[in-house]
Amino acid sequence: MKITIIGTGYVGLVTGACLAELGNQVFCLDVDQTKIDILNNGGIPIHEPGLAELVARNRAAKRLIFSTDIAASVAHGDIQFIAVGTPPDEDGSADLQYVVAAARNIGRHMTGFKVVVDKSTVPVGTADKVSAAINTALQERDVQASFSVVSNPEFLKEGAAVEDFMRPDRIVIGCDGTPAGLQAQAQMKKLYAPFNRHHERTLWMDVRSAEFTKYAANAMLATRISFMNEMANLADRVGADIEAVRQGIGSDPRIGYSFLYAGCGYGGSCFPKDVQALERTAREYDQDLLILRAVEAVNNNQKYVLGKKIVARFGADLTGKSFALWGLAFKPNTDDMREASARVLLGELIGRGASVAVYDPVAMPEAKRVLALDFAGKPEQLARIRFCDSALEALEGADALAIVTEWKTFRSPDFEQLKQLLKSPVIFDGRNLYEPQVMSDAGFEYHGIGRSVLTRA
């Protein structure tokens, strides 16, 4: 099949590469010439395991092309995926200007039937806006052409996106019941047929329900994380071990273990903005989502918990103190720094006069770019951040180690070497990578999240 992907960001590039891997002819469009040049020269603008190999293989097979030619992109694809960014607006709502612009361009160039697929994460009612933009452009051209707008939200985890796409647990597709909608449904069924050979993974529903499903899924996962973080903070006060509690409640099949890990807050491009966007949608309909408001508040506060533990141990004035920070990306297997907890902790430590040596296995180039923006106008503070080439280099002479991202490479370090490099054997573990008793036996002062078990007589 001939497919066009509008937008070569995280979702668009993964979708395009994976659909090309299945034998489709995929045209990836982006208005950013620099990004297209990188892709055409064999580079990848994001870090995602397995993606570079997938793109290279399908470019070589001529099943995957990258271009800024809008007219050619519309002419190519019978199915047009809109996978552009929907960043949060100032009021928390999703900014749909790029989605609408993509729809308008389709309307300006299409001459026959098109299936237009909203792949971007968009609020309920976006399909109507996309339809209106296409119809307006067609009317301006005085062209009669049929189309149908479909909702097909993505459920990709950063760091495992290729695997998630190629082996989906579900495929959500929203179509309407018009003749054009039924034609679109047939096209989408054909496109996703390779995923449904052994058992049906597609969930068919109306367009608005499909749009809602994506937000509801991310809101539920964010809620579980914030719930567990709130329980962890209480566990610290009452002397309980949140890891034991997690196992105790996760063993209940009605609850399960997923997304019940306490830590220093969630980040990334999805959960923060999707929770805000769903809250904004609710306000438009005069409804207040009290639970989600609390979820967001808990997460924002959780990003300061590690800093508070460090201040409680070393004092409010950290002038002259040096810290090592392991992990900058918001999660492992990505270089994504959006809403990353490390940015909050760095701001806290640097703002209190400390120096920080930082290391991340993948995100160092992106971190340098983002932190330069975070500390814009404060060159003396930015100068107190040292970017290291290894985790061990960051430890040299540090008063303590803070762990913010749970990279596998941090899970089993040489603890004797850590003690030799650190000025004092103190670890603040924002992801609970280590066992408190093991760390104590090894001679470390250990501060986890919800793992400060009180000694009882």
pLDDT tens digits, 433-443: 999 999 999 99
Does 157 reside within a domain?
Answer: yes
pLDDT at 92 over 80: no
Mean pLDDT of 319-348: 97
pLDDT at 455 over 70: no
Predicted model pTM: 0.91
Structure tokens at 149: 């707008």
Q: Is 293 exposed, middle or buried (0-12, 13-18, 19+ CB in 10 A)?
A: middle
Residue ranges making up the domain that contains 308: 222-447
Structure tokens at 136: 């307006």
Does 71 reside within a domain?
Answer: yes
- Shared domain for 167 and 238, answered yes or no, is no
Measure the N-to-C terminal CA separation of the chain; round to a whole number of Å. 70
Residue 434: partners with Cβ closer than 8 Å, 6 or more residues away? 427, 446, 448
Q: What is the mean pLDDT of the chain?
A: 95
- Shared domain for 24 and 136, answered yes or no, is yes
Tell me the pLDDT band of 451, cut-offs 50, 70 and 90: very high
- Shared domain for 142 and 274, answered yes or no, is no
pLDDT at 457 over 50: no
Looking at the DSSP bridge assignments, the partners of residue 427 are 401, 446
Structure tokens at 430: 């924002």
Mean pLDDT of 417-430: 96
- Shared domain for 161 and 230, answered yes or no, is no
Question: 174, 205, 236: which is the final residue of a domain?
Answer: 205
**Of 18, 28, 270, 388, which one is the catalytic site residue?**
270
Structure tokens at 100: 């609408």
| Cα–Cα distance for residue pair 427/313, rounded to 1 Å | 11
Contact 341, 404 (CB under 8 A): yes
Residue (of 129, 30, 40, 131) closest to 84 by Cα position:
30
- Shared domain for 315 and 425, answered yes or no, is yes
Mean pLDDT of 47-65: 96
Q: What's the pLDDT at 452?
A: 79
| Cα–Cα distance for residue pair 381/353, rounded to 1 Å | 8
Indicate if the alpha-carbon torsion angle 222, 224, 229, 230 is positive or negative: positive
Q: What's the pLDDT at 255?
A: 97
Mind listing the pLDDT tens digit for each residue in 274-287? 999 999 999 999 99
- Shared domain for 285 and 146, answered yes or no, is no
| Cα–Cα distance for residue pair 293/219, rounded to 1 Å | 11
- Shared domain for 335 and 361, answered yes or no, is yes
pLDDT at 45 over 60: yes
Mind listing the pLDDT tens digit for each residue in 317-326? 999 999 999 9
Does 217 reside within a domain?
Answer: no
Contact 334, 362 (CB under 8 A): yes
b/e sequence 199-218, b meaning 16+ C-beta within 10 Å? eeebeeeebbebbbbbbebb
Count: domains in the chain: 2
Mean pLDDT of 77-105: 90
Q: Is 270 a catalytic residue?
A: yes
pLDDT at 403 over 80: yes
- Shared domain for 436 and 391, answered yes or no, is yes
Does 436 reside within a domain?
Answer: yes
Question: 155, 172, 205: which is the final residue of a domain?
Answer: 205
Tell me the pLDDT band of 453, cut-offs 50, 70 and 90: low
Q: What's the pLDDT at 198?
A: 84
The CATH number of whichever domain residue 66 belongs to comes to: 3.40.50.720
Q: What's the pLDDT at 7?
A: 96
Structure tokens at 258: 């997923």
Q: What's the pLDDT at 93?
A: 78
Reduced to 3 states (helix: H, G, I; strand: E, B; else coil), residue 65 is strand
| Cα–Cα distance for residue pair 437/444, rounded to 1 Å | 10
Does 210 reside within a domain?
Answer: no
pLDDT at 456 over 50: no
Mind listing the pLDDT tens digit for each residue in 364-387? 999 999 999 999 999 999 999 999
- Shared domain for 324 and 409, answered yes or no, is yes
Indicate if the alpha-carbon torsion angle 30, 180, 204, 212 is positive or negative: positive
- Shared domain for 269 and 157, answered yes or no, is no
The residue that leads in pLDDT, 457 or 385, is 385
Does 215 reside within a domain?
Answer: no
Mind listing the pLDDT tens digit for each residue in 213-265? 999 999 999 999 999 999 999 999 999 999 999 999 999 999 999 999 999 99
Question: 154, 180, 205: which is the final residue of a domain?
Answer: 205
| Cα–Cα distance for residue pair 312/236, rounded to 1 Å | 14
Does 455 reside within a domain?
Answer: no
- Shared domain for 264 and 189, answered yes or no, is no
Contact 124, 211 (CB under 8 A): yes
Q: How many CB atoms lie within 10 A of CB 263?
A: 27
Q: What's the pLDDT at 454?
A: 53
Give 3-state DSSP helix, strand, coil % of the chain, rounded to 5.
45, 15, 40
DSSP string, 193-232: GGGGSSS--EEEE-HHHHHHHHHHHHHHHHHHHHHHHHHH
Q: Is 135 exposed, middle or buried (0-12, 13-18, 19+ CB in 10 A)?
A: middle
Does 182 reside within a domain?
Answer: yes
- Shared domain for 263 and 163, answered yes or no, is no
